[in-house]
Structure 1
Amino acid sequence: MGLLKDKGVVYKPVDDIDLGPHSKEVYLHADVKAPRMAGTLAKIFVWFLELKIIGDALLYFLKKNNRIQKLVSFAVLEDLPLYVPLHPYEDVKQDENSKCLDSNLSPAEQVQEAKDCLESSKTTLKDSISDNSFRRYTIMDYSKAYTSREITPLMVSERLVSAILQSSAPGMGMSFFINYESNHILKQATESTLRYERGEPISVLDGVPIAIKDEIDCMPYPTTGGTRWLHKVRACNEDACCVKRLRSCGAILIGKTNMHELGAGTSGINPHYGTSRNPYDPKRISGGSSSGSAASVCAGLCPVALGVDGGGSVRMPAALCGIVGLKPSFGRIPHSGVIPLNWTVGMVGVLAGTVEDSMITYAAMSGNAETHQPTMQPKLYLPILKPYSQMSSITLAKSKEWFNDCSDDIRISCLSALDNLHTCYGWQTVEVTIPDIEVMRLAHYVTIGAECSTSLGHYLENINKSESGSDVRVALSVYGAFNSRDYLNAQRIRNRQMKIHERIFTMADVIVTPTVGVTAYEIKDDAQETGELDYINGAALVRYSISGNFLGLPAVTVPIGYDKLGLPIGIQFIGKPWSEALLIQIAYAMEALCKAEYKKPKVYYDLLTKS
């Protein structure tokens, strides 16, 4: 960053920036000037914000006081705008322990390839549950149990329906789902059970329950986006491409999970459908916006759920709920059939109990869409998962001040995880400086806000604003205040950060960070009716997510421990474009060092063990 000139910052050319550990670049902490608001106070603020003259003045000062004008709007840069974070792939190098998949394979065949990449294991379901440590059931646990006739998909689904009803009851109110139909679940389960009886399962996903975020089209359900109105004006006539591929593998699609309304927040607090509560402590948030997907996996209702990650919305709730969250490279999984809340930063992602399950699901969904794509993709690679074998030496890039900008419990846990990687695998960490992280967060906010406002504009003109929560009405007002200069400068910052990260990746294989800056915080009563405006906690939650979205980079979070209150902590690895195979292998190796210490959530349902 350079010196102030008039109202904006003058940014140095990228080639003039020292990215080494002793760089003089100053780390800029988030300086959010917006008090927490909910309930009556939030309603009053919305009323003023939506008044023409007063609202315009408030929006001007919000942009000014939160440094959007200084760091983005009036910034002086030499970089051209970069509108879509697509990456070249001709020179992508893969680890020698990875497998290249044929581009003509069906989703079920790609799942079979993923299965073949797993460690060979003769462990039975009974063996797997005899261990004293908590262990989540995997896709392979379901598949082996079905194949051995220990249990059937129909029996599992009957237990699942019962668990959803119990978790939704007034005494618990976990609010995992917006929409599900018992008969539809049982119908799919019956068909899967018959396939197993014939000895003809489609794939290892056959009969496995998978939940879908209510931002993704999945028949026969409407797609609400967490709102009371969107499904009334936007038709849903067929499955999204990613859902269609899972269905073709025999997966049981169990319904639409709860989410933060329009994905416009990080808490998952939804005034319309209730707040998806954290199974480790139901008094706390599960994170947003893929809140119900994370919580349902955490609670054992399914081994896998789908989310959409536009600003950490898969990885944040995954970390807060103690599960795995995988966000692939931009464009790797087709986006057709997903509400277009943000065109250039959103990405379908996987929330899973284990790394191996995230890989199997990723394999099922990946590849070019049947419809026109803006670019062809590189070949799909999957890692051969062998955490205890001699892996290639991995170099991790760590930006010290950024890495440490989190709670003490998170920092200590993540540093300990890094030490374990060094000791057990001989991996190396190099200290680097990644400049203007806070600038990138603000530029991403401008981008996602402008795209969301534009995408929904023709719907918003025809709805009653009172149908949305107060927090979302504030967000939409701010989004609508961004102009062409704001957006264009944000895209110039995107280009600049892309170049910076390209240089970082010449020094290391991946970037390592905590996943979030704070663990799950308490849900307050005043937020239930209106939603909650808490931009300070929001900035802490998204602190480490933005490069994955703004720059289209793949990233994965893995649970590594717990804070003093027993709340989960995750570590994140951010990879080079199209490096999912390496990221999954690294995550698997990290998981191998931590899984013996995993703790059972307070709210957990065992769907596989015979009673």
Structure 2
Amino acid sequence: MGKKRVMVPAEDVDLSAVKYQHEAIQAPHLTGLKFKLFVKLLETPLVGPLIISRLKKDNKIVELLQNTVIPEAPMYKPEYPPQEPEPGVVVVDEDGKPEDRVELAVNCLPPYNSASCWNEDLASPFRYWKIRDYAHAYRSQFVTPSMVAEKIISVIEEFNKKDPPTPLLISFDAEEVRKQAAASTKRFEEGSPISILDGILIAIKDDIDLYPHPSKGGTTWMHEVRPMKEDAVSVSRLRCCGVIFVGKANMHEFGMGTTGNNPNYGTTRNPHALDRYTGGSSSGPAAIVASGLCSAALGTDGGGSIRIPSSLCGVVGLKTTYGRTNIRGSLYDYGTVAVIGPIASSVEDVMLVYAAILGSNPADRISLNPSPPCLPNLSSCDGADALGSLRLGKYTAWFNDVQSTDVSDTCEDMLNLLSKTHGCEMVEIVIPEMQEMRTSHLLSIGSEFIQSLNPDIEDGKGVRLNYDSRTSIALFRSFNASDYIAAQCLRSTSIRGCSCFALRLFTHGSILTENSSCFSSLPISCSPTPHSSLDVYSCGTLILNWRRLMYHHMEIFKKVDVIVTPTTGMTAPKIPSGALSYGETNLQITGYLMRFVVAANLLGFPAISIPVGYDKQGLPIGLQLISRPWGEATLLRLASAVEELYAKPKKRPASFYDVLKTK
């Protein structure tokens, strides 16, 4: 029969025959000088390709791509129709002022109870100060933004003096922070704060533009070849709300790693255990929030890079639907898997920052035709009914594929509590072709990364990258055009049918899937007419023909509202001593950290990580919720319920700073 492998069409896959397969990555774990030598071999003309070829063969990359016949056409970016409005939500004007959206979000929250937050007896157990706590303190003149800024500046300067370096920020300007804080303090003195975010200190990941700081992406040279003259769109929206930007947060170089290791500037440590990783690639944003220094931070998520560090550091991280936030002004504005999203210590703070930054890129709004953004009305009693009607999908074999049962048991306990308290229905699901999904994501993000970086690599900048980045580059450069197209065939969806000449006009027709019962009722006159890569139907009916991985997941979302998993398959891994100078490669660790996250990136779904407990070593554990496209409101509502149900006091991180303490 040869090596050829033929996949049946997605709709013909027999789910009853699907068997979950544990991902066993075949690759060496290397640190220090051994890792340096390995990279030198990878970059040797004859030896390197042989090593890469063996690694790809051992991990079935060749089998799943070059030797497989995939019946579906490719999809080069996530596409889906508008969704029905979620119950108990408030529609947000994405074209309105960011400060107006934030005010709307505040009105969606339960009433603020200052007594419960500021009473010494009730506040004595460890807690994170929330954005509304800061706003109350500023308005009540307990503290000023300038006073808080001075405390944070002193801590950041202390971190920058540590040996070995463990910086939270790559770029920091104390005088710039003081200038912003003074302007905010003046607004409060005049009784005219811009929004509830006025005076709130927020860190920005180093791959998102924050003027006048350079955007290095964790490298030593990216700012040399990519001059930056203005804020990213998301940063500009926060600035309109009066936010104080503390600086550019540390990250894994170019975001191409899951640990947060960065020999260029020093590796950020996990605030809960300083000998452990924060997770990556948004390592600095998660650590600076977990340590209490900033109420929130912005990160990017192309392969779990918001959710992984949020889980490992015990905070909340939201990855939005692809296209829901405008990624212009980041290093990944060329890509199809990455988004910008918030990290904060609480769901309500994530919601407030999300309200400020949401709003699609105009081009994405035309091509993706997103549903209107919504926020859950958490101040209304209708929320209980909305929670009770939710169906939660759990693929048990996948859910339990973790390094320690502490992770799966803790997440399982929370799901049982959700069902008992709110009546959420648990539904067993099966997700086929998970190995294909991981491979498709690797090809997609890797090909996009190498395409954007190739000119600089050829110009000699590649040798200035970390050894783990150079390892990734060697692998990504071995992929060819047929590999990339095969990956997009696995991802696959296709659109057939539009009413006119612009995709925006889809909203004037009806939206069906090919297996919809309505499909057979199309008028006989609606014959397809070739138009570019689309089929045009004169009746104005759009038909979305989901295939392969997108098809499998959209079929699941007909049965459930949310897919539930642990966020990561392990808690924070230890930092090997040899990894600080040269980095490390440990794809087994990467496999555990990325086990549950890639579907949301490859297929563009929204997802959120919420802390739900600790393992036996006191390390945080996160629960992940994945919703159907444009379902951020459902995620925020359910995440808020999870947060409320977690009644045990949070553990104070080993590295924590109470910058709002007034005594």
Q: Normalising TM by the smaller chain, what interval?
A: over 0.9
Cα distance in 2 for partners of 1:186, 1:314 equals 28
* Deviation, structure 1 residue 48: 1.0
Cα distance in 2 for partners of 1:204, 1:6 equals 65
Change (3 A) 1:6 1:309: farther
Q: Which residue of 2 aligns with 1:41?
A: 34
Change (3 A) 1:79 1:159: same
In 2, are the aligned partners of 1:260 and 1:289 still within 8 Å (CA)?
yes
Paired residue for 1:167, among 135, 159, 173? 159
Paired residue for 2:583, among 521, 527, 531? 531
Cα distance in 1 for partners of 2:657, 2:134 equals 14
In 2, are the aligned partners of 1:341 and 1:455 still within 8 Å (CA)?
no
The equivalences for 1:428-507 within 5 A come to 428-495=425-492, 496-507=548-559
Q: Which has the larger radius of gyration?
A: 2
Cα distance in 2 for partners of 1:325, 1:106 equals 24
Which runs of no fewer than 5 residues in structure 2 stay unpaired?
A: 493-547
Q: Which is worse superposed, 494-503 or 372-381?
A: 372-381
In 2, are the aligned partners of 1:341 and 1:452 still within 8 Å (CA)?
no
TM-score, structure 2 as length reference: 0.88
In 1, are the aligned partners of 2:114 and 2:136 still within 8 Å (CA)?
no
* Deviation, structure 1 residue 404: 0.5
RMSD: 1.6
1:257 aligns with 2:249: yes
1:31 aligns with 2:83: no
Q: Which residue of 1 aligns with 2:80?
A: 87
Paired letter, 1:434: I
1:74 aligns with 2:71: no
Change (3 A) 1:372 1:493: closer
Paired residue for 2:401, among 405, 424, 429? 405
Paired letter, 2:24: D
1:115 aligns with 2:115: no
Q: Which residue of 1 aligns with 2:92?
A: 101
Q: Secondary structure at the match of 2:565?
A: strand
Q: Secondary structure at the match of 1:511?
A: strand
Cα distance in 1 for partners of 2:121, 2:169 equals 28
In 1, are the aligned partners of 2:165 and 2:265 still within 8 Å (CA)?
no
Paired letter, 1:107: P
* Deviation, structure 1 residue 465: 3.4
* Deviation, structure 1 residue 369: 3.6
Cα distance in 1 for partners of 2:121, 2:330 equals 37
Q: Which is worse superposed, 64-73 or 492-501?
A: 64-73
Q: Secondary structure at the match of 2:657?
A: coil
Q: Which is worse superposed, 293-302 or 42-51?
A: 42-51
Q: Which residue of 2 aligns with 1:183?
A: 175
Cα distance in 2 for partners of 1:477, 1:557 equals 32
* Residues 323-349 of structure 1 deviation map (CA, whole Å, 9 limit, x = unaligned): 001000000000100002760001101
Paired residue for 2:13, among 11, 17, 30? 17
Change (3 A) 1:60 1:295: same
Cα distance in 2 for partners of 1:145, 1:110 equals 22
Change (3 A) 1:70 1:398: same
Cα distance in 1 for partners of 2:642, 2:599 equals 21
Q: Secondary structure at the match of 2:122?
A: coil
* Residues 509-550 of structure 1 deviation map (CA, whole Å, 9 limit, x = unaligned): 010000000100110111111111010000110010001100
Q: Secondary structure at the match of 1:292?
A: helix
Q: Which is worse superposed, 439-448 or 98-107?
A: 98-107
In 1, are the aligned partners of 2:407 and 2:570 still within 8 Å (CA)?
yes
Q: Which residue of 2 aligns with 1:232?
A: 224
Paired residue for 1:391, among 385, 389, 402? 385
Q: State the number of aligned residues.
A: 602
In 1, are the aligned partners of 2:323 and 2:364 still within 8 Å (CA)?
no
Cα distance in 1 for partners of 2:287, 2:99 equals 27
Cα distance in 2 for partners of 1:7, 1:40 equals 38
* Deviation, structure 1 residue 464: 4.0
In 2, are the aligned partners of 1:310 and 1:342 still within 8 Å (CA)?
no
* Deviation, structure 1 residue 556: 0.4
Q: Which residue of 2 aligns with 1:541?
A: 593
Q: Secondary structure at the match of 1:477?
A: helix
Cα distance in 2 for partners of 1:66, 1:405 equals 18
* Deviation, structure 1 residue 134: 2.2
* Residues 218-244 of structure 1 deviation map (CA, whole Å, 9 limit, x = unaligned): 011100010011111111111000000
Q: Which is worse superposed, 434-443 or 502-511?
A: 434-443
Q: Secondary structure at the match of 1:390?
A: helix
Q: Secondary structure at the match of 1:560?
A: strand
* Deviation, structure 1 residue 72: 2.5
* Residues 63-110 of structure 1 deviation map (CA, whole Å, 9 limit, x = unaligned): 111111112332221111000013221xx1233211012344200000
Paired residue for 2:412, among 415, 438, 443? 415
* Deviation, structure 1 residue 290: 0.3
Q: Secondary structure at the match of 2:437?
A: helix
In 1, are the aligned partners of 2:326 and 2:359 still within 8 Å (CA)?
yes
* Residues 21-56 of structure 1 deviation map (CA, whole Å, 9 limit, x = unaligned): xx2212121121101011111111111111112111
Cα distance in 1 for partners of 2:407, 2:631 equals 26
In 1, are the aligned partners of 2:107 and 2:379 still within 8 Å (CA)?
no
Cα distance in 1 for partners of 2:120, 2:635 equals 26
In 2, are the aligned partners of 1:399 and 1:434 still within 8 Å (CA)?
yes
Q: Which residue of 2 aligns with 1:64?
A: 57
In 2, are the aligned partners of 1:509 and 1:576 still within 8 Å (CA)?
yes
* Deviation, structure 1 residue 257: 0.5
The equivalences for 1:128-277 within 5 A come to 130-170=122-162, 173-277=165-269
Paired letter, 2:424: W
Change (3 A) 1:602 1:116: same
TM-score, structure 1 as length reference: 0.96
Cα distance in 1 for partners of 2:119, 2:400 equals 40
The equivalences for 1:265-344 within 5 A come to 265-340=257-332, 343-344=335-336
1:381 aligns with 2:381: no
Q: Which is worse superposed, 501-510 or 101-110?
A: 101-110
Cα distance in 2 for partners of 1:172, 1:57 equals 37
Cα distance in 1 for partners of 2:68, 2:282 equals 33
Change (3 A) 1:486 1:143: same
Q: Which is worse superposed, 334-343 or 5-14?
A: 5-14
In 2, are the aligned partners of 1:341 and 1:456 still within 8 Å (CA)?
no
Cα distance in 1 for partners of 2:490, 2:331 equals 26
Which runs of no fewer than 5 residues in structure 1 stay unpaired?
A: none
Q: Secondary structure at the match of 1:305?
A: strand
Paired letter, 1:98: V
Cα distance in 2 for partners of 1:371, 1:65 equals 40
Cα distance in 2 for partners of 1:312, 1:595 equals 27
In 1, are the aligned partners of 2:94 and 2:358 still within 8 Å (CA)?
no
